[in-house]
Structure 1
Amino acid sequence: MSSNYVPRVTQLDAQQLDEEVVEIFKAQLLETTKYLSPGLLTPITPELELLLRSIIFKYSIFKSSKTFGQQMLSLKYDDKFLSRSKMYWLYGYTVVLKYMKDRLFISYTTNKRAQNFLIVLERFQVIGDFFNMIRFLQTGKKPTLIEYLLNLEIISMIKISNQYTDLSWTRELLWHSFIELFGVAAPLLNTQFVRRLIKDRSFNIFSRKKTVFSSFVNSNPIMTKKTKCAECRDNPILPHYMGCEHVFCHFCLQSNKIANPKYRCPLCEYTGTTVMRVPCG
Protein backbone atom coordinates (compact mmCIF):
# COMPACT_ATOMS: atom_id res chain seq x y z
CA MET A 1 0.00 0.00 0.00
CA SER A 2 1.11 3.53 -0.69
CA SER A 3 -0.28 6.95 0.20
CA ASN A 4 0.63 8.12 -3.29
CA TYR A 5 -1.23 5.34 -5.08
CA VAL A 6 -4.41 6.54 -6.82
CA PRO A 7 -6.66 4.14 -8.80
CA ARG A 8 -7.38 5.23 -12.34
CA VAL A 9 -11.13 5.16 -11.85
CA THR A 10 -10.85 7.45 -8.81
CA GLN A 11 -9.03 10.05 -10.88
CA LEU A 12 -11.72 9.87 -13.57
CA ASP A 13 -14.45 10.12 -10.93
CA ALA A 14 -12.82 13.30 -9.60
CA GLN A 15 -13.05 14.87 -13.07
CA GLN A 16 -16.71 13.89 -13.32
CA LEU A 17 -17.43 15.38 -9.90
CA ASP A 18 -15.72 18.64 -10.92
CA GLU A 19 -18.10 18.98 -13.86
CA GLU A 20 -21.06 18.13 -11.64
CA VAL A 21 -20.02 20.91 -9.23
CA VAL A 22 -19.95 23.41 -12.10
CA GLU A 23 -23.40 22.28 -13.27
CA ILE A 24 -24.80 22.65 -9.74
CA PHE A 25 -23.53 26.23 -9.48
CA LYS A 26 -24.87 27.00 -12.97
CA ALA A 27 -28.28 25.63 -11.98
CA GLN A 28 -28.26 27.83 -8.88
CA LEU A 29 -27.32 30.85 -10.98
CA LEU A 30 -30.18 30.17 -13.40
CA GLU A 31 -32.55 29.77 -10.49
CA THR A 32 -31.66 33.20 -9.08
CA THR A 33 -32.06 34.91 -12.48
CA LYS A 34 -35.19 33.16 -13.71
CA TYR A 35 -37.37 36.21 -13.04
CA LEU A 36 -35.28 38.46 -15.27
CA SER A 37 -36.40 39.26 -18.81
CA PRO A 38 -35.97 36.27 -21.14
CA GLY A 39 -32.76 36.47 -23.13
CA LEU A 40 -31.32 39.28 -21.00
CA LEU A 41 -28.27 37.25 -19.90
CA THR A 42 -27.88 35.21 -23.08
CA PRO A 43 -25.33 37.56 -24.73
CA ILE A 44 -23.05 37.37 -21.68
CA THR A 45 -23.44 33.67 -20.95
CA PRO A 46 -19.73 32.91 -21.67
CA GLU A 47 -18.68 35.72 -19.29
CA LEU A 48 -20.94 34.39 -16.53
CA GLU A 49 -19.49 30.90 -16.90
CA LEU A 50 -15.97 32.38 -16.95
CA LEU A 51 -16.70 34.16 -13.67
CA LEU A 52 -18.21 31.03 -12.14
CA ARG A 53 -15.33 28.76 -13.15
CA SER A 54 -12.79 31.37 -12.02
CA ILE A 55 -14.35 31.52 -8.55
CA ILE A 56 -14.38 27.72 -8.33
CA PHE A 57 -10.74 27.59 -9.44
CA LYS A 58 -9.67 30.22 -6.91
CA TYR A 59 -11.28 28.51 -3.93
CA SER A 60 -10.21 25.01 -4.93
CA ILE A 61 -6.92 24.56 -6.78
CA PHE A 62 -5.47 28.02 -6.11
CA LYS A 63 -6.29 27.87 -2.39
CA SER A 64 -5.73 24.23 -1.49
CA SER A 65 -4.02 22.53 -4.51
CA LYS A 66 -7.05 20.33 -5.13
CA THR A 67 -10.30 20.58 -7.05
CA PHE A 68 -13.63 20.11 -5.30
CA GLY A 69 -13.98 16.73 -6.96
CA GLN A 70 -10.55 15.69 -5.70
CA GLN A 71 -11.45 16.88 -2.19
CA MET A 72 -14.50 14.61 -2.16
CA LEU A 73 -12.30 11.62 -2.98
CA SER A 74 -9.36 12.58 -0.72
CA LEU A 75 -7.08 13.47 -3.61
CA LYS A 76 -4.90 16.48 -4.35
CA TYR A 77 -2.12 17.71 -6.60
CA ASP A 78 1.35 17.06 -5.27
CA ASP A 79 2.68 20.44 -4.09
CA LYS A 80 6.15 19.50 -5.29
CA PHE A 81 4.92 19.67 -8.90
CA LEU A 82 2.27 22.40 -8.64
CA SER A 83 4.03 25.77 -8.74
CA ARG A 84 2.30 29.14 -8.98
CA SER A 85 3.17 29.47 -12.68
CA LYS A 86 1.70 26.01 -13.40
CA MET A 87 -1.50 27.11 -11.63
CA TYR A 88 -1.81 29.99 -14.10
CA TRP A 89 -1.24 27.66 -17.05
CA LEU A 90 -3.81 25.22 -15.65
CA TYR A 91 -6.28 28.09 -15.22
CA GLY A 92 -5.66 29.29 -18.75
CA TYR A 93 -6.23 25.85 -20.29
CA THR A 94 -9.25 24.74 -18.24
CA VAL A 95 -11.04 28.08 -17.80
CA VAL A 96 -9.83 30.81 -20.19
CA LEU A 97 -9.50 28.57 -23.26
CA LYS A 98 -13.04 27.28 -22.79
CA TYR A 99 -14.31 30.86 -22.48
CA MET A 100 -12.50 31.89 -25.67
CA LYS A 101 -14.08 29.01 -27.62
CA ASP A 102 -17.56 29.79 -26.26
CA ARG A 103 -17.24 33.50 -27.03
CA LEU A 104 -15.85 32.80 -30.50
CA PHE A 105 -18.72 30.44 -31.24
CA ILE A 106 -21.34 33.04 -30.25
CA SER A 107 -19.75 36.23 -31.60
CA TYR A 108 -18.39 34.96 -34.91
CA THR A 109 -21.11 32.63 -36.17
CA THR A 110 -20.92 34.14 -39.66
CA ASN A 111 -17.13 34.36 -39.80
CA LYS A 112 -16.02 31.23 -41.64
CA ARG A 113 -12.34 31.83 -40.88
CA ALA A 114 -13.01 32.07 -37.15
CA GLN A 115 -15.28 29.03 -37.22
CA ASN A 116 -12.69 27.00 -39.14
CA PHE A 117 -10.05 28.02 -36.61
CA LEU A 118 -12.35 26.86 -33.81
CA ILE A 119 -12.94 23.52 -35.54
CA VAL A 120 -9.21 22.94 -36.05
CA LEU A 121 -8.50 23.90 -32.43
CA GLU A 122 -11.11 21.49 -31.08
CA ARG A 123 -9.87 18.77 -33.42
CA PHE A 124 -6.31 19.01 -32.12
CA GLN A 125 -7.57 19.08 -28.55
CA VAL A 126 -9.72 15.97 -29.02
CA ILE A 127 -6.87 14.10 -30.71
CA GLY A 128 -4.54 15.10 -27.88
CA ASP A 129 -7.06 13.96 -25.27
CA PHE A 130 -7.51 10.66 -27.11
CA PHE A 131 -3.81 9.78 -27.13
CA ASN A 132 -3.40 10.99 -23.57
CA MET A 133 -6.23 8.69 -22.47
CA ILE A 134 -4.42 5.74 -24.05
CA ARG A 135 -1.26 6.73 -22.16
CA PHE A 136 -3.25 7.18 -18.94
CA LEU A 137 -4.81 3.73 -19.22
CA GLN A 138 -1.31 2.30 -19.48
CA THR A 139 0.43 4.33 -16.76
CA GLY A 140 -2.39 5.35 -14.43
CA LYS A 141 -1.03 8.90 -14.11
CA LYS A 142 -2.06 12.34 -15.43
CA PRO A 143 -5.60 11.65 -16.76
CA THR A 144 -5.86 14.96 -18.65
CA LEU A 145 -3.65 16.37 -21.37
CA ILE A 146 -2.85 19.57 -19.47
CA GLU A 147 -1.77 17.57 -16.42
CA TYR A 148 0.60 15.63 -18.63
CA LEU A 149 1.98 18.76 -20.28
CA LEU A 150 2.52 20.46 -16.91
CA ASN A 151 3.79 17.25 -15.26
CA LEU A 152 1.22 17.41 -12.44
CA GLU A 153 1.00 14.45 -10.08
CA ILE A 154 -2.21 13.48 -8.30
CA ILE A 155 -1.69 11.87 -4.90
CA SER A 156 -4.04 10.40 -2.32
CA MET A 157 -4.34 11.82 1.19
CA ILE A 158 -5.27 8.40 2.54
CA LYS A 159 -3.73 4.99 2.00
CA ILE A 160 -5.38 3.01 -0.80
CA SER A 161 -4.58 -0.59 -1.63
CA ASN A 162 -3.74 -1.25 -5.27
CA GLN A 163 -5.91 -4.38 -5.19
CA TYR A 164 -8.89 -2.17 -6.05
CA THR A 165 -7.67 -1.90 -9.62
CA ASP A 166 -8.45 -5.59 -10.06
CA LEU A 167 -12.15 -5.08 -9.49
CA SER A 168 -14.28 -5.68 -12.58
CA TRP A 169 -16.23 -2.44 -12.12
CA THR A 170 -13.00 -0.46 -12.27
CA ARG A 171 -12.05 -1.96 -15.61
CA GLU A 172 -15.59 -1.47 -16.89
CA LEU A 173 -15.63 2.23 -15.97
CA LEU A 174 -12.27 2.75 -17.63
CA TRP A 175 -13.46 0.97 -20.74
CA HIS A 176 -16.60 3.13 -20.93
CA SER A 177 -14.48 6.27 -20.57
CA PHE A 178 -12.24 5.12 -23.39
CA ILE A 179 -15.20 4.28 -25.63
CA GLU A 180 -16.80 7.66 -24.92
CA LEU A 181 -13.60 9.46 -25.87
CA PHE A 182 -13.22 7.31 -28.99
CA GLY A 183 -16.79 8.17 -29.95
CA VAL A 184 -15.85 11.83 -29.91
CA ALA A 185 -12.64 11.31 -31.89
CA ALA A 186 -14.02 8.87 -34.48
CA PRO A 187 -16.08 11.44 -36.45
CA LEU A 188 -12.89 13.40 -37.03
CA LEU A 189 -11.45 10.52 -39.07
CA ASN A 190 -11.96 10.45 -42.83
CA THR A 191 -13.40 6.93 -42.94
CA GLN A 192 -13.96 6.99 -46.69
CA PHE A 193 -10.29 7.77 -47.29
CA VAL A 194 -9.05 5.17 -44.78
CA ARG A 195 -11.28 2.46 -46.19
CA ARG A 196 -10.26 3.23 -49.77
CA LEU A 197 -6.57 3.40 -48.79
CA ILE A 198 -6.74 -0.07 -47.21
CA LYS A 199 -8.59 -1.46 -50.19
CA ASP A 200 -6.09 0.06 -52.63
CA ARG A 201 -3.14 -1.35 -50.68
CA SER A 202 -4.76 -4.78 -50.59
CA PHE A 203 -5.47 -4.65 -54.30
CA ASN A 204 -1.90 -3.67 -55.16
CA ILE A 205 -0.48 -6.49 -53.04
CA PHE A 206 -2.70 -9.36 -54.12
CA SER A 207 -3.63 -8.44 -57.69
CA ARG A 208 -1.36 -9.87 -60.40
CA LYS A 209 -2.78 -7.84 -63.25
CA LYS A 210 -1.87 -4.27 -63.86
CA THR A 211 -4.82 -1.92 -63.63
CA VAL A 212 -5.33 0.32 -66.63
CA PHE A 213 -6.34 3.88 -65.76
CA SER A 214 -8.12 5.54 -68.63
CA SER A 215 -9.77 8.89 -69.16
CA PHE A 216 -11.95 7.52 -71.97
CA VAL A 217 -15.65 7.91 -71.18
CA ASN A 218 -17.72 4.88 -72.13
CA SER A 219 -21.33 4.94 -73.28
CA ASN A 220 -24.00 5.87 -70.77
CA PRO A 221 -24.80 3.14 -68.22
CA ILE A 222 -28.20 1.51 -68.44
CA MET A 223 -30.50 1.76 -65.41
CA THR A 224 -32.84 -1.15 -64.64
CA LYS A 225 -34.86 -2.21 -61.61
CA LYS A 226 -32.00 -4.48 -60.58
CA THR A 227 -29.30 -1.82 -60.79
CA LYS A 228 -27.40 -1.38 -57.53
CA CYS A 229 -24.90 1.23 -56.42
CA ALA A 230 -21.38 -0.06 -57.03
CA GLU A 231 -20.26 1.29 -53.65
CA CYS A 232 -23.05 0.68 -51.11
CA ARG A 233 -24.81 -2.11 -53.06
CA ASP A 234 -28.22 -0.51 -52.52
CA ASN A 235 -30.72 1.12 -54.88
CA PRO A 236 -28.95 4.22 -56.30
CA ILE A 237 -30.10 7.55 -54.92
CA LEU A 238 -29.62 10.33 -57.50
CA PRO A 239 -27.74 7.91 -59.80
CA HIS A 240 -24.43 9.15 -61.19
CA TYR A 241 -21.46 7.58 -62.96
CA MET A 242 -17.88 8.53 -63.74
CA GLY A 243 -17.30 6.97 -67.16
CA CYS A 244 -17.63 3.23 -66.66
CA GLU A 245 -20.82 1.23 -66.99
CA HIS A 246 -21.49 1.09 -63.24
CA VAL A 247 -23.91 3.33 -61.39
CA PHE A 248 -23.37 5.03 -58.01
CA CYS A 249 -25.40 7.01 -55.56
CA HIS A 250 -24.46 10.66 -55.94
CA PHE A 251 -23.26 10.85 -52.33
CA CYS A 252 -21.27 7.59 -52.55
CA LEU A 253 -19.44 8.74 -55.66
CA GLN A 254 -18.85 12.35 -54.67
CA SER A 255 -17.69 11.57 -51.13
CA ASN A 256 -15.19 9.02 -52.40
CA LYS A 257 -13.93 11.37 -55.10
CA ILE A 258 -13.46 14.14 -52.54
CA ALA A 259 -11.64 11.79 -50.17
CA ASN A 260 -9.50 10.34 -52.96
CA PRO A 261 -9.32 12.03 -56.40
CA LYS A 262 -7.92 8.76 -57.79
CA TYR A 263 -10.92 6.80 -56.57
CA ARG A 264 -11.54 3.66 -58.63
CA CYS A 265 -14.76 1.83 -59.29
CA PRO A 266 -14.89 -1.09 -56.82
CA LEU A 267 -16.27 -3.38 -59.56
CA CYS A 268 -14.05 -2.68 -62.56
CA GLU A 269 -11.20 -0.57 -61.07
CA TYR A 270 -11.93 2.22 -63.56
CA THR A 271 -11.01 5.75 -62.54
CA GLY A 272 -12.61 8.80 -64.06
CA THR A 273 -12.24 12.53 -63.58
CA THR A 274 -15.81 13.60 -64.34
CA VAL A 275 -18.93 12.81 -62.33
CA MET A 276 -22.06 12.76 -64.47
CA ARG A 277 -25.71 12.12 -63.84
CA VAL A 278 -27.22 9.01 -65.40
CA PRO A 279 -29.62 10.12 -68.18
CA CYS A 280 -33.28 9.36 -67.62
CA GLY A 281 -35.04 6.96 -69.94
Structure 2
Amino acid sequence: MAHIGTRDSLRILNEKTFGLYLDGGDLGEILLPRREMPEKWTLGEFVDVFLYNDSEDRPVATLKMPKVMPGRFARLKCVAVTGVGAFLDWGLPKDLLVPFREQKVRMEVGKNYIVHVHVDEQTARIIASTRLTRHIDQEPHDFRTGQAVDLMAYAKTDLGYKMIINDTHSGLIFANDVFQPLHPGEMLKGYIADVRPDGKVDLTLHAPGRAKIDDLEGQILAELKARGGFWAIGDHTSAAEINEELGVSKRAFKQATGALFRKQVIRIEERGLRLLEETDWSPSEG
Protein backbone atom coordinates (compact mmCIF):
# COMPACT_ATOMS: atom_id res chain seq x y z
CA MET A 1 0.00 0.00 0.00
CA ALA A 2 1.29 3.47 -0.89
CA HIS A 3 1.95 6.03 1.85
CA ILE A 4 2.96 9.68 1.80
CA GLY A 5 6.59 10.01 2.89
CA THR A 6 7.70 6.53 1.85
CA ARG A 7 9.38 4.98 -1.16
CA ASP A 8 7.05 2.51 -2.82
CA SER A 9 6.96 0.31 -5.90
CA LEU A 10 3.78 1.30 -7.79
CA ARG A 11 2.22 -0.12 -10.96
CA ILE A 12 1.95 2.10 -14.05
CA LEU A 13 -1.73 2.44 -15.02
CA ASN A 14 -1.67 4.80 -18.01
CA GLU A 15 -0.02 7.76 -19.68
CA LYS A 16 -1.68 11.14 -20.03
CA THR A 17 -0.61 14.65 -21.00
CA PHE A 18 1.02 15.46 -17.68
CA GLY A 19 2.85 12.15 -17.22
CA LEU A 20 2.31 8.61 -15.97
CA TYR A 21 -0.44 7.71 -13.55
CA LEU A 22 0.40 5.09 -10.93
CA ASP A 23 -1.77 2.86 -8.80
CA GLY A 24 -1.69 4.44 -5.33
CA GLY A 25 -4.25 2.10 -3.77
CA ASP A 26 -6.26 4.05 -1.18
CA LEU A 27 -4.53 7.26 -2.35
CA GLY A 28 -6.02 6.82 -5.83
CA GLU A 29 -4.13 7.43 -9.05
CA ILE A 30 -0.85 9.24 -8.41
CA LEU A 31 0.89 11.36 -11.02
CA LEU A 32 4.52 10.82 -11.91
CA PRO A 33 5.13 14.13 -13.78
CA ARG A 34 6.42 13.90 -17.34
CA ARG A 35 9.72 15.53 -16.36
CA GLU A 36 10.20 12.65 -13.89
CA MET A 37 9.32 9.81 -16.24
CA PRO A 38 11.95 7.09 -16.84
CA GLU A 39 13.33 6.82 -20.37
CA LYS A 40 11.86 3.36 -20.80
CA TRP A 41 8.63 2.11 -19.27
CA THR A 42 5.77 -0.27 -19.97
CA LEU A 43 2.13 -0.18 -18.89
CA GLY A 44 1.58 -2.60 -16.03
CA GLU A 45 5.19 -2.63 -14.85
CA PHE A 46 6.25 -1.30 -11.45
CA VAL A 47 8.37 1.77 -10.77
CA ASP A 48 10.06 2.80 -7.49
CA VAL A 49 8.99 6.28 -6.43
CA PHE A 50 8.94 8.57 -3.40
CA LEU A 51 5.52 10.01 -2.52
CA TYR A 52 4.87 13.51 -1.21
CA ASN A 53 2.30 16.30 -1.73
CA ASP A 54 2.33 18.89 -4.48
CA SER A 55 1.48 22.59 -3.95
CA GLU A 56 -2.24 21.73 -3.98
CA ASP A 57 -1.78 18.93 -1.41
CA ARG A 58 -2.34 16.17 -3.99
CA PRO A 59 -0.16 13.04 -3.74
CA VAL A 60 2.61 13.16 -6.34
CA ALA A 61 5.44 10.76 -7.18
CA THR A 62 9.09 11.38 -7.94
CA LEU A 63 12.00 9.17 -8.97
CA LYS A 64 14.28 11.33 -6.83
CA MET A 65 15.11 10.71 -3.19
CA PRO A 66 14.86 13.61 -0.73
CA LYS A 67 17.95 14.66 1.21
CA VAL A 68 16.27 13.32 4.33
CA MET A 69 13.47 10.79 4.78
CA PRO A 70 10.55 11.45 7.13
CA GLY A 71 11.29 10.30 10.66
CA ARG A 72 14.88 11.58 10.52
CA PHE A 73 16.84 14.68 11.49
CA ALA A 74 18.90 16.75 9.06
CA ARG A 75 20.54 20.14 8.53
CA LEU A 76 18.84 21.97 5.66
CA LYS A 77 18.98 25.45 4.15
CA CYS A 78 16.08 27.88 4.26
CA VAL A 79 15.32 29.09 0.72
CA ALA A 80 12.11 31.06 1.23
CA VAL A 81 9.83 32.57 3.86
CA THR A 82 6.15 33.19 3.09
CA GLY A 83 2.92 33.85 4.93
CA VAL A 84 2.54 30.17 5.86
CA GLY A 85 6.06 29.50 7.08
CA ALA A 86 9.60 28.84 5.88
CA PHE A 87 10.65 26.52 3.07
CA LEU A 88 13.76 24.34 3.02
CA ASP A 89 15.70 22.79 0.16
CA TRP A 90 15.42 19.04 0.60
CA GLY A 91 16.29 18.02 -2.94
CA LEU A 92 12.79 17.73 -4.44
CA PRO A 93 10.92 20.03 -6.86
CA LYS A 94 8.61 21.22 -4.06
CA ASP A 95 10.49 22.69 -1.08
CA LEU A 96 9.83 21.44 2.44
CA LEU A 97 7.52 23.52 4.64
CA VAL A 98 8.31 24.50 8.23
CA PRO A 99 5.06 26.01 9.57
CA PHE A 100 5.44 28.97 11.94
CA ARG A 101 4.15 26.81 14.81
CA GLU A 102 7.08 24.43 14.25
CA GLN A 103 9.75 27.16 14.35
CA LYS A 104 11.54 27.61 17.67
CA VAL A 105 12.93 30.88 16.31
CA ARG A 106 11.81 32.62 13.14
CA MET A 107 13.82 31.23 10.24
CA GLU A 108 15.77 33.34 7.77
CA VAL A 109 16.55 32.77 4.10
CA GLY A 110 20.09 31.54 3.50
CA LYS A 111 20.61 30.07 6.96
CA ASN A 112 20.89 26.36 7.78
CA TYR A 113 18.79 24.72 10.48
CA ILE A 114 18.61 21.31 12.13
CA VAL A 115 15.10 19.97 11.66
CA HIS A 116 13.07 16.85 12.19
CA VAL A 117 11.14 15.77 9.09
CA HIS A 118 7.84 13.94 9.55
CA VAL A 119 4.31 13.48 8.26
CA ASP A 120 2.08 15.93 10.13
CA GLU A 121 -0.77 14.13 11.88
CA GLN A 122 -3.16 17.08 11.41
CA THR A 123 -2.65 17.72 7.70
CA ALA A 124 -1.05 14.48 6.40
CA ARG A 125 1.63 16.66 4.75
CA ILE A 126 5.35 16.16 5.08
CA ILE A 127 6.70 19.05 7.16
CA ALA A 128 9.80 19.89 9.19
CA SER A 129 10.24 21.25 12.70
CA THR A 130 13.05 22.99 14.58
CA ARG A 131 11.41 22.05 17.88
CA LEU A 132 13.72 19.07 18.19
CA THR A 133 12.92 17.95 21.74
CA ARG A 134 9.34 17.20 20.66
CA HIS A 135 10.69 14.58 18.28
CA ILE A 136 13.53 13.07 20.33
CA ASP A 137 12.31 9.77 21.74
CA GLN A 138 11.73 9.89 25.50
CA GLU A 139 10.86 6.20 25.77
CA PRO A 140 13.37 3.75 27.32
CA HIS A 141 16.13 2.67 24.97
CA ASP A 142 18.18 -0.52 24.72
CA PHE A 143 21.62 1.01 24.10
CA ARG A 144 24.54 -0.88 25.64
CA THR A 145 28.02 0.25 26.61
CA GLY A 146 30.45 -0.03 23.71
CA GLN A 147 27.72 -0.06 21.04
CA ALA A 148 28.61 1.77 17.82
CA VAL A 149 26.04 4.43 16.90
CA ASP A 150 25.39 7.22 14.38
CA LEU A 151 25.45 10.69 15.88
CA MET A 152 24.38 14.19 14.90
CA ALA A 153 25.50 17.23 16.89
CA TYR A 154 22.58 19.54 17.66
CA ALA A 155 23.45 21.70 20.70
CA LYS A 156 26.41 22.83 22.81
CA THR A 157 26.23 23.17 26.60
CA ASP A 158 28.71 23.92 29.38
CA LEU A 159 29.22 20.16 29.80
CA GLY A 160 29.77 19.33 26.15
CA TYR A 161 27.79 18.54 23.02
CA LYS A 162 24.26 17.17 22.81
CA MET A 163 23.96 14.51 20.13
CA ILE A 164 21.04 12.76 18.44
CA ILE A 165 21.65 8.99 18.54
CA ASN A 166 20.49 6.84 15.61
CA ASP A 167 17.78 9.42 14.75
CA THR A 168 15.88 8.52 17.93
CA HIS A 169 17.31 9.42 21.35
CA SER A 170 19.77 11.99 22.67
CA GLY A 171 23.04 11.77 24.56
CA LEU A 172 26.04 13.85 25.60
CA ILE A 173 29.71 13.92 24.62
CA PHE A 174 31.67 15.64 27.39
CA ALA A 175 33.77 18.60 26.31
CA ASN A 176 37.03 16.97 27.45
CA ASP A 177 36.33 14.08 25.06
CA VAL A 178 36.28 16.35 22.01
CA PHE A 179 39.42 17.80 20.43
CA GLN A 180 37.91 19.97 17.71
CA PRO A 181 34.77 22.09 17.48
CA LEU A 182 31.66 20.20 16.44
CA HIS A 183 29.21 22.03 14.22
CA PRO A 184 25.40 21.85 14.30
CA GLY A 185 24.22 19.05 12.04
CA GLU A 186 27.64 17.38 11.85
CA MET A 187 27.34 13.62 11.39
CA LEU A 188 29.75 11.37 13.28
CA LYS A 189 30.34 7.75 14.18
CA GLY A 190 30.46 7.25 17.93
CA TYR A 191 30.03 4.81 20.79
CA ILE A 192 27.93 4.45 23.91
CA ALA A 193 30.35 5.23 26.76
CA ASP A 194 27.89 4.76 29.62
CA VAL A 195 24.19 4.33 30.31
CA ARG A 196 23.31 5.96 33.63
CA PRO A 197 20.72 4.57 36.08
CA ASP A 198 18.30 7.33 35.02
CA GLY A 199 18.64 6.26 31.37
CA LYS A 200 20.73 9.22 30.25
CA VAL A 201 23.46 8.31 27.77
CA ASP A 202 27.11 9.36 27.76
CA LEU A 203 28.85 9.15 24.41
CA THR A 204 32.38 8.97 23.10
CA LEU A 205 34.00 9.28 19.68
CA HIS A 206 36.58 6.64 20.63
CA ALA A 207 35.97 2.91 20.76
CA PRO A 208 35.79 1.94 24.43
CA GLY A 209 36.94 -1.36 25.83
CA ARG A 210 39.60 -3.10 27.85
CA ALA A 211 41.78 -3.89 24.84
CA LYS A 212 42.07 -0.21 23.95
CA ILE A 213 43.03 0.68 27.51
CA ASP A 214 45.60 -2.13 27.57
CA ASP A 215 47.18 -0.73 24.41
CA LEU A 216 47.20 2.74 25.90
CA GLU A 217 48.84 1.46 29.09
CA GLY A 218 51.58 -0.01 26.94
CA GLN A 219 52.04 3.31 25.11
CA ILE A 220 52.34 5.24 28.36
CA LEU A 221 54.77 2.71 29.81
CA ALA A 222 56.95 2.80 26.69
CA GLU A 223 56.99 6.59 26.71
CA LEU A 224 57.95 6.69 30.39
CA LYS A 225 60.87 4.34 29.75
CA ALA A 226 62.00 6.41 26.77
CA ARG A 227 61.92 9.55 28.93
CA GLY A 228 64.00 8.05 31.71
CA GLY A 229 61.12 7.21 34.02
CA PHE A 230 59.30 10.56 34.28
CA TRP A 231 56.78 12.28 32.01
CA ALA A 232 55.32 15.71 32.79
CA ILE A 233 51.77 14.77 31.84
CA GLY A 234 48.70 14.32 34.03
CA ASP A 235 45.47 15.93 35.23
CA HIS A 236 46.97 19.37 34.64
CA THR A 237 47.48 18.56 30.95
CA SER A 238 44.80 19.76 28.54
CA ALA A 239 42.68 17.31 26.58
CA ALA A 240 44.11 18.72 23.34
CA GLU A 241 47.72 18.07 24.48
CA ILE A 242 46.87 14.51 25.54
CA ASN A 243 45.23 13.86 22.19
CA GLU A 244 48.27 15.27 20.40
CA GLU A 245 50.65 13.06 22.40
CA LEU A 246 48.65 9.83 22.50
CA GLY A 247 45.71 10.23 20.12
CA VAL A 248 43.12 9.54 22.82
CA SER A 249 40.67 11.42 25.02
CA LYS A 250 41.57 12.70 28.45
CA ARG A 251 39.06 10.26 29.93
CA ALA A 252 40.80 7.29 28.28
CA PHE A 253 44.16 8.64 29.47
CA LYS A 254 42.91 8.84 33.06
CA GLN A 255 41.51 5.30 32.84
CA ALA A 256 44.86 3.96 31.66
CA THR A 257 46.97 5.86 34.21
CA GLY A 258 44.55 4.79 36.95
CA ALA A 259 44.98 1.17 35.92
CA LEU A 260 48.79 1.51 35.93
CA PHE A 261 48.65 3.13 39.37
CA ARG A 262 46.52 0.30 40.78
CA LYS A 263 49.01 -2.21 39.38
CA GLN A 264 51.75 -0.29 41.24
CA VAL A 265 53.56 0.35 37.97
CA ILE A 266 53.58 4.15 38.22
CA ARG A 267 53.23 6.90 40.78
CA ILE A 268 50.98 9.84 39.94
CA GLU A 269 52.70 13.01 41.09
CA GLU A 270 51.62 16.64 40.98
CA ARG A 271 53.96 17.38 38.07
CA GLY A 272 53.40 14.17 36.11
CA LEU A 273 53.85 10.39 36.00
CA ARG A 274 56.81 8.50 37.43
CA LEU A 275 57.73 4.92 36.54
CA LEU A 276 58.42 2.81 39.63
CA GLU A 277 61.80 1.10 39.69
CA GLU A 278 62.42 -2.62 39.14
CA THR A 279 59.12 -3.12 37.34
CA ASP A 280 58.70 -6.04 35.01
CA TRP A 281 55.20 -5.26 33.73
CA SER A 282 53.51 -5.96 30.43
CA PRO A 283 49.94 -5.11 29.39
CA SER A 284 49.00 -8.80 29.17
CA GLU A 285 49.63 -9.47 32.83
CA GLY A 286 46.98 -9.01 35.51
TM bin, normalised by shorter chain, reads under 0.3
Structure number with the higher helix fraction is: 1
TM-score, length-scaled by structure 1: 0.25
TM (norm. structure 2) is 0.25
Structure of higher RCO (CA pairs closer than 8 Å, 6+ residues apart)? 1
Richer in strand (by share):
2
